[in-house]
Amino acid sequence: MSIEKVQKAINRLSNLKAEISDQFEELKAEVNRRFASHAKRRDDEIFRPLPAPTGLDMSLMDALKNRRSQRNFSNEPLSDQVVANLLFAADGINRKGGKRTTPSALDWRETDVYLLKANGIWLWVPERNGLLFCAMKDVREETYLLNAQLTLPPLEIVFVTNYARTRSLLTDAVETIAPKIKKAAVDEADLREMRIRACHLDVGAKLQSVYLAASAMGLACVARTGFSAEKIVAALRLKPDEVVVAAQSLGYPAKSILDHLK
């Protein structure tokens, strides 16, 4: 490879790094605006890097065989490694260009993944493999319509669709070009419905991916749409074009009554 080519590659890499870093600063500022939570916090409290995902070694066949919904959780917290593995399954970067372990329509990457834990609300940042602190409030219980559980799961994952992200140059181009090729107008309502359907399917893929990772790690897990969207919207301070599509509860399965003691 010539020196010029190497130099160009280095420049491209440093531009990419700068881009990601700029977006991260923007994200931090946005979360700060929303939650006003960072003002008195040190940098290492605002961002919690997670370990690289590892140890999901069960065969896919066994993970599929073990996959089930379980609703009886132990109060034992999940380690950062377990959380990192779950998030890698849900929305980890597995290729160049920031592409993810789960698909999204037109590569919109419109789903934000929030974690609700005893120690607060966190936002998953795939580009950094870590969690951005949002607020020191335990809102897990608030997400339930009816809480019939003995113990709250140590982790609630909340999948939020950001519809603003489904508007991109490429999407607009596809939507403008398609009717020209078909020589027929595409109905606005149809397009809207198509977007909503696609976003919900994107979350569905994440749910199953997390179910399989949970199965491989022997965790109890259940997908949920039975939650109070209104309460989650308030807790996460979501904007009008951000919609809570699903939640997923995770923890170790409770084995005895002692697992429920606070």
Asked if residue 89 binds ligand FMN (CB under 6 A), the reply is no
Asked if residue 223 binds ligand FMN (CB under 6 A), the reply is yes
Residue with the shortest CB distance to ligand FMN: 226
Asked if residue 224 binds ligand FMN (CB under 6 A), the reply is yes
Structure tokens at 30: 């946005």
Asked if residue 226 binds ligand FMN (CB under 6 A), the reply is yes
CA–CA dist 194, 125 (Å, integer): 27
Minimum CB–partner distance for residue 225 and ligand FMN (Å)? 4
Nearer to ligand FMN, 62 or 190 (CB): 62
Minimum CB–partner distance for residue 227 and ligand FMN (Å)? 7
**Upper half-sphere CA count for residue 147 (Cβ side, 13 Å):** 13
Asked if residue 225 binds ligand FMN (CB under 6 A), the reply is yes
What stretch of H or E contains 33?
Answer: helix 3-35
CA–CA dist 154, 152 (Å, integer): 6
Nearer to ligand FMN, 88 or 159 (CB): 159
Kindly indicate which of the ranges 14-22, 102-110, 116-124, 224-232 contains the residues binding ligand FMN, using the contact rule CB under 6 A: 224-232
Minimum CB–partner distance for residue 94 and ligand FMN (Å)? 24
What is each CA distance from 122 to 11, 46, 115, 240, in whole angstroms? 33, 9, 5, 20
CA–CA dist 224, 156 (Å, integer): 10
CA–CA dist 169, 175 (Å, integer): 10
- Non-local (6+) Cβ contacts of 173 within 8 A are none
Nearer to ligand FMN, 83 or 246 (CB): 246
Q: Which of residues 64-83 bind ligand FMN (CB under 6 A)?
A: 68-69, 71
Binding region for ligand FMN (CB under 6 A): 68-69, 71, 222-226, 246
